[in-house]
Amino acid sequence: MSAPQPPQAPADVPTLLVKIFGKDRPGITAGLFDTLAAFSVDVVDLEQVVTRGRIVLCALVTEPARGLEGELRSTVHSWADSLKLQAEIISGVGDNRPRGEGRSHVTVLGHPLTAESTAAIAARITATGGNIDRIFRLAKYPVTAVEFAVSGTPTEPLRTALATEAAALGVDVAVVSAGLHRRAQRLVVMDVDSTLIQDEVIELFAAHAGCEEQVAEVTARAMRGELDFEQSLHARVALLEGLDASVVEKVRAEVQLTPGARTLVRTLKRLGYQVGVVSGGFTQVTDDLRERLGLDFAHANTLEIVDGKLTGKVTGEIVDRAGKARLLRRFAQEAGVPLEQTVAIGDGANDLDMLNAAGLGVAFNAKPVVREAAHTAVNFPFLDTVLYLLGVTLEEVEAADAHEA
Ligand SMILES: [Mg+2]
């Protein structure tokens, strides 16, 4: 037996592109290659998509031996005719040109995804010098999510250009650089209030203490920039002084997870991610969430309880804007995951340092100021849409759930 020959440079090899289009059914790929096998051709490339029951199968094969191309063409056409498929065979040389430098994944989420938005996004990619190499759908429900593999333009300017376009169109666009590190992302850290859960925990406590209005007033002052986070935390917690500690149980029961939260955490855990939360809220709630969801990390402020009553004080290290970023770093270190391989998700201004420190920072249903400063924004109230940004498809999520059930 002779030693295997090194493959010829694809650019030099005469090739045939065989495109089959028509109603999908089992056996098309086997049938085509059975037909081609009679001509001893080699497969250079092979791609297939099925859209609403119609198949597009493209096979790039080496040219058959001299004089046999005509026979190959007529054999493939008669096979295709027998199955009512359309066949097109184009002679040429070589393979695809190598993809350009500067590769990104662009995920577009729309509800609905309009033709107009798609046109605008694609035009903007082209305008930045990028080429769309591949497109596929990640999810059809509850949002339509498609991913474009783009090359030929650096990720950062593409992200900036598309963020502006997305805001104008009312769709979400996430741009992440392509490469192995995307698949190696291994730690997700989430904010809690209005991110993992729908509530603001301090407001749930305030309702029991009958001081919702005063708490809301402090929150409004903080929003106006009259108080920093720590001042507003102390001012709001002070209003809870004297509240019976039994309220903690009631608040835990009232907390409502954000839709998709369980799916997100469950899927991430299956994929081998570590998942944590950091909260400017309270350990009395986050410890419970950690237990319920099987989280790896949780850190928050602690409401001081003495003799069965809340004292109106918090104990320990205050989790504020800088604290959240610090905790992300600490969790990453404990998890043995480089910071570039972390994902942070949050909705508030106090999440911004954490979002910017992470490899991928996702502003989740955030205020415009947070949205604009983050890498990526998701503006649908479903936490599991974050999975699409990581390239996980709805189909994969559902299949994993069905397998476990
Ligand atoms: Mg929040």
pLDDT in tens, 111-146: 999 999 999 999 999 999 999 999 999 999 889 999
Residue 357 scores a pLDDT above 70: yes
Of 39, 68, 93, the position where a domain reaches its end is 93
User: Does 295 share its domain with 356?
Assistant: yes
Residue 240 scores a pLDDT above 80: yes
CA of 368 to the centre of ligand 1 (A): 14
Residue 139 lies in a domain: yes
CA of 13 to the centre of ligand 1 (A): 58
In angstroms, the CA 250 to CA 106 distance is 43
The pLDDT, as a whole number, for residue 185 is: 64
User: Does 79 share its domain with 24?
Assistant: yes
What mean pLDDT is reported for the chain?
A: 92
User: Does 82 share its domain with 111?
Assistant: no
Residue 238 lies in a domain: no
Of 64, 93, 122, the position where a domain reaches its end is 93
Residue 6 scores a pLDDT above 60: no
CA of 369 to the centre of ligand 1 (A): 14
Residue 382 lies in a domain: yes
Beta strand pairing call for 14-23 and 54-62: antiparallel
Q: State the DSSP code for 351.
A: G
Beta strand pairing call for 43-51 and 54-62: antiparallel
* Residues 112/115/118/122 CA torsion (nearest 10 deg): 180
Both structure tokens of 304 = 């001081």
CA of 196 to the centre of ligand 1 (A): 8
Query: What CATH number is given to the structural domain containing 44?
Result: 3.30.70.260
Residue 363 scores a pLDDT above 70: yes
Both structure tokens of 334 = 């404990």
Residue 193 among the catalytic residues: yes
The pLDDT, as a whole number, for residue 405 is: 75
Question: Average of pLDDT values for 46-59?
Answer: 95
User: Does 283 share its domain with 374?
Assistant: yes
The pLDDT, as a whole number, for residue 32 is: 97
User: Does 275 share its domain with 399?
Assistant: yes
Residue 124 lies in a domain: yes
pLDDT > 90: percent of the chain: 74
CA of 195 to the centre of ligand 1 (A): 6
The active-site residue, picked from 12, 45, 172, 191, is 191
Residue 49 lies in a domain: yes
Question: Average of pLDDT values for 39-63?
Answer: 95
Residue 9 lies in a domain: no
The active-site residue, picked from 24, 95, 193, 296, is 193
User: Does 196 share its domain with 277?
Assistant: yes
Residues 6+ apart with CB under 8 A from 106: 121, 125, 147, 148, 149, 150, 158, 162, 173, 174, 175
CA of 33 to the centre of ligand 1 (A): 55
Residue 2 scores a pLDDT above 60: no
Range of 378's domain? 188-200+256-403
The pLDDT, as a whole number, for residue 8 is: 55
The pLDDT, as a whole number, for residue 142 is: 83
CA of 194 to the centre of ligand 1 (A): 5
User: Does 141 share its domain with 35?
Assistant: no
Residue 320 among the catalytic residues: no
User: Does 261 share its domain with 335?
Assistant: yes
Residue 234 lies in a domain: no
- Encode pLDDT of 156-172 as tens digits: 899 989 988 888 898 99
The pLDDT, as a whole number, for residue 192 is: 97
User: Does 111 share its domain with 194?
Assistant: no
User: Does 153 share its domain with 195?
Assistant: no
Query: What CATH number is given to the structural domain containing 372?
Result: 3.40.50.1000
Question: Average of pLDDT values for 201-219?
Answer: 93
Question: How many structural domains are present in the chain?
Answer: 3
pTM score, two decimals?
0.86
Alpha-carbon distance values, 138 to 135, 142, 257, 327 (Å): 10, 11, 24, 32
Of 117, 147, 178, the position where a domain reaches its end is 178
Confidence band for 330, pLDDT divided at 50, 70 and 90: very high
User: Does 342 share its domain with 364?
Assistant: yes
Q: State the DSSP code for 197.
A: B
In angstroms, the CA 55 to CA 24 distance is 5
Residue 229 lies in a domain: no
CA of 76 to the centre of ligand 1 (A): 60
Residue 217 scores a pLDDT above 70: yes
Beta strand pairing call for 144-151 and 104-110: antiparallel
